[in-house]
Amino acid sequence: MEYAIGRKVFGGYLLGQGKFRCVPGAGGIWRRSVLQEILEEHSGRHNGDDFEATAIAMRKGYHFRYEASVAVQTMVPQSPKEFYRQRKRWALGSLETYDKESRFFRDSITNLRNRLGHVTLFDAYTWLNAMAIPLFFVNAFFNHFMFGLSLSIGFALSSIMCLASRNEVKDKKALALIPFSPFYVYFANMPYIPALYAFLGDKKKVASRPSSSLALMGPVEPTGIPAKLHTHSSTSCVR
C-alpha cells in the first residue's frame, strides 16, 4: 500500500510537470549521457544517492516518464530492526540532499505553480510531524482528545491518499490496513529523530574539520542488506 500511494499520488502528481521526487535506485532507467553528467556533481554519498541524483537531474532541466509495465525485484527489510535502519538511512539521505540542493528546492517552493514545491512542503510537514512523536505518545496517556484528533487526521489523510491510489490498491487485505495507517506512519517516522541528530552531528564534524582533510573523504559505504524481494515499477529519465 505504501509503494502504491507513493507511485500513484506523488508520482502521478509530479509527472504532470515531468518531475519525480526520487527515481528509485532499484527501478530507475537512465540515459547513459544524462547519468554521467549527473555523477559529475554527485556527492557520492550512499544514504540518499538516488534522491540526490533525481534532484540534480531536475535542476539541470531533465524530465521523467513513469512506465508502469516495467517491474523489477528489490530487497525489503525482514525485521523491525532492519526497517528502522532503512528508514533512518533514507531520512538522513533526504536531509543531506535537501542541504546540498537547498537552493533548488527553495526555488521550487517559492514558485507556487511548481508541484515539486508542493511535495517538498508536504515532506516538511512530515518532518514536523515526526518531531512531534514524543508528544503523540504523551497525549496517549494524558490528553485523549489531542491523541484522538491526531489519529483522526492521520486516518483522514491515509484514506484520501488510498482513494487517489484506488487503481493500484486493489488488495482487500491492504485496504483493511487503512485504519492502522496512522500508527504505522508514526512508527515509520520514528527514525527521523535520530537521523536529524546524525545529520546535525555530521554537519558539526565537517565544519570543525580542516579543509585539507575534506579531500580525503570518500563515499559512505552501504550498511545492512535486507533479504526479501519486493516488486517495483520503473521510471525512466528523458530530456
Of all helices (H) and strands (E), which one includes residue 232? strand 228-238
Strand partners, 74: 230
- pLDDT given at position 214: 45
- pLDDT given at position 171: 62
Phi, psi of 19 (to 5 degrees): -110, 165
- pLDDT given at position 54: 95
From the DSSP assignment, how many helices (H) and strands (E) are in the chain?
Answer: 13, 3
Residues of the chain with pLDDT under 70: 1-10, 139, 154, 157-159, 161-184, 209-239
- pLDDT given at position 222: 38
Residue from 66, 69, 59, 68 nearest 15 by CA: 66
Distance CA 141, CA 139 (A): 5
Burial label for 165, CB within 10 Å (0-12, 13-18, 19+), is: buried
Calculate the CA dihedral of residues 175, 176, 180, 185 and round it to 10 degrees.
Answer: -20
Cell of 210: 580542516
- pLDDT given at position 156: 77
Distance CA 202, CA 132 (A): 23
- pLDDT given at position 14: 82
- pLDDT given at position 218: 47
Distance CA 95, CA 116 (A): 16
- pLDDT given at position 167: 61
